[in-house]
Structure 1
Amino acid sequence: MTRPLRAAAPETTRPIRFGVHGSSRLAERIVTAIGYGREEIEFVPYDVMEPFRPLRDGRMDLMIVKYGLLEPDIVSSRPVAFDGRAVLVSASHPLARRDTVSVEDVAAYDAFTCPGDFPPYVWDKVVPPTTPGGLPIRRVHPMTTLQAMAAILTRTDAVHLSFQSLDMVVPPEIRVVPVHDLPAAPVSLAWLRDRRPSPGVAAFIFDAERGMEL
């Protein structure tokens, strides 16, 4: 597929600071698809416990978000990608041996609670309180860091409903199994409402949105 030419923008003296959580794989795909070089982007990790702090503190220019945001001080782009749904389990878990699973099967195991300042209305889409078939998903384990989550997964039969983009960063003892009956999550770019994007950042947002139109 032919991608659009990059929007013209003045040269900048520093890379675009692009916020990511867990894995930069999805962000790297977006960057590559719209023709930007790796040297033009600085990936800035953010903590799921305080996802918007680096943006509000001025340590990143924009960040990846999934699903729609209702934060009054943050603006989101149109979807620029989609991330397939998956469940994270230990390598010894009964679901780990399957090629794909149903979210109805996932509901048989304990899941994770909404972490810290993460928006509960978004977490309800990441880890829904009930399945489409009406089964409750028991959100009982604390979500703090990826390392702590992996430790809980390896010592229990817990599951974490998440995204396929994590399949390159989880430790060997964790499996990422696609969930075939949950729709892929829309992925957008977000930035502060009262902080106008620089010309270079604005051009990147434009190119990312245009890329989804082709």
Structure 2
Amino acid sequence: MTDRTTLPPDGFPGTPPVRLGIHGSPDLAAAIIRAAGRDESEADLVGYDVADPFRGLRAKELDVMIVKYGLREPDLAVSRPVAVDPRAVIVGAHHPLATHASVSVEELAAYEGFRCPGAFPQYVWDEVVPPRTPKGRRIRRAYDMGTVKGLMGTLSGTDAVHLTFQSLEAIAPPQTKVIPISDLPPAPVALAWLRDPEPGAHTARFIEDAENGSTV
């Protein structure tokens, strides 16, 4: 990162908010912003589509975005972990597992999950939805992953399971249940940005503040 001593102070007239890409709940982003010692007004939260997650960065419509697990995209740089997001599964309220306080990933292998969407990196999806459980049971990826609304509709009308993150609980509709997964570790959360051109001074400071505010 750029030396902090070379960066102008944030909040001076004309400093634009950092355009921060998010997917799903804004609560995780808000927590990262607060941990960085920033006011939420200093970032504009912009939703991105998981089927083409890096389009906004590459089109220079975003300054930085929230990502999980390690990226191997040559044109993107990634911060140190700035948070973690515990693992959870979303199921319909009618689902046989819906009354459980927590579930094992081994239990989830009995139900069908979701395929890797669009241009989302397969190597990251394999972390989100492991191909096999620790005991070797195959996790069947049977459903297309589309919009959040479409996903929730599939879950509310079938016995599908969506292996995901606890942060999505904030946007899960009443006809679904979000249940902690007891035997998958939390996902590391980081910030990603374009290597070229390098981020502007206020974005670089935001990234550094997020890294310094991390308790990971």
Give the structure-2-normalised TM-score: 0.93
Which residue pairs with 2:3 in the alignment?
none
Instruction: Return the alpha-carbon distance in structure 2 between the equivalents of residues 34 and 191 of structure 1.
Output: 17
Task: Give yes or no for contact 1:9–1:199 (8 Å, CA) kept in 2.
Answer: no
Match of 1:4 in 2: none
Distance in 1 (alpha carbons) for counterparts of 2:97 and 2:85: 20
CA distance in 1, matches of 2:35, 2:194: 24
CA contact (8 A) 1:83 1:163 kept: yes
Matched residue type, 1:145: T
- Paired residues in the alignment total 208
What SS is found at the alignment partner of 1:134?
A: coil
List 4+ stretches of structure 1 deviating above 2 A. 7-13
Give the deviation of 1:207 after TM superposition.
1.1
Deviations 1:109-158 (A, max 9, x none): 00000000000000000001000111100001000111111111111100
Secondary structure of 2:98 counterpart? helix
Aligned residues with identical type, % of pairs: 54
Structure 2: how far apart are the matches of 1:123 and 1:154? 22
Task: Measure, in 2, the Cα distance between the counterparts of 1:185 and 1:110.
Answer: 22
Compute the displacement of 1:170 (Å). Answer: 1.1
What do residues 87-130 of structure 1 show as CA deviations (whole Å, max 9, x unaligned)?
A: 00001111110111000001100000000000000000000100
CA RMSD of aligned residues (A): 1.3
Q: 1:63 aligns with which of 65, 80, 88?
A: 65
Q: How do 1:94-105 residues align onto structure 2 when only pairs under 5 Å count? A: 94-105=96-107
d(CA) in 2 for partners of 1:37, 1:211: 13
Unaligned runs of 5+ in 2: 1-6
Correspondent of 1:19 among 18, 21, 26: 21
The letter of the residue matching 1:108 is: A
CA distance in 1, matches of 2:176, 2:152: 7
Equivalent position of 1:189 in the other structure: 191
The equivalent of 1:3 in structure 2 is none
Unaligned runs of 5+ in 1: 1-6
Looking at structure 1, the residues matched to 88 and 56 of structure 2 have their Cα atoms a distance apart, in angstroms, of 27
Show the 5 A alignment for 1:62-211: 62-211=64-213
Q: Structure 1 residues 213 and 169 mapped into 2: Cα distance closer, same or farther (>3 Å)?
A: closer
Deviation at 1:213, TM superposition (A): 5.3
CA distance in 2, matches of 1:94, 1:8: 55
Question: Who is 1:9 aligned against?
Answer: 9
For residues 211 and 137 of structure 2, the distance between their equivalents in structure 1, rounded to whole angstroms, comes to: 36
Instruction: Kindly indicate whether residue 49 of structure 2 is the aligned counterpart of residue 44 of structure 1.
Output: no
Matched residues in 2 for 1:213 and 1:38: separation?
19
